[in-house]
Amino acid sequence: MIKKEVEIKNRTGLHTRPAAMLVKLASKFKSDFFIEKNGVEINGKSIIGVMSLAAEQGSKLVLRFEGEDEEEAAKAIVALFESGFGELDGLKNEENKDGQGQSH
């Protein structure tokens, strides 16, 4: 069993698109995958379960992997969280448009 703590980085949180990305990726692995938030644990391969977490930006989640490919699953899924589900680049571009995040 592997446990990892992650933080939601993207501004909009774990909304429909990131939740679908997460479930799709998790379903590629044989290992069981669970997500815990504030003491509530859900099946990470269930879109309804993932959406029910209502995990907003800054939320801390504990990911639990158990099975024959748990190491590969943990690595791939943690990387997805770290990437902000592909939404961090958009955030940086918005900040640059507003003149924030630039050093003059």
Catalytic sites, residue numbers: 15
Handedness of CA 51, 83, 74, 38 (dihedral sign): negative
* Distance of alpha carbon 58 from alpha carbon 37, whole angstroms: 12
User: Which candidate, 37, 23, 27, places its Cα nearest to that of 69?
Assistant: 27
What ranges in 1-104 are assigned the alpha helix state H?
A: 16-26, 47-52, 70-82, 88-97
Which tokens belong to 78?
Answer: 């943690």
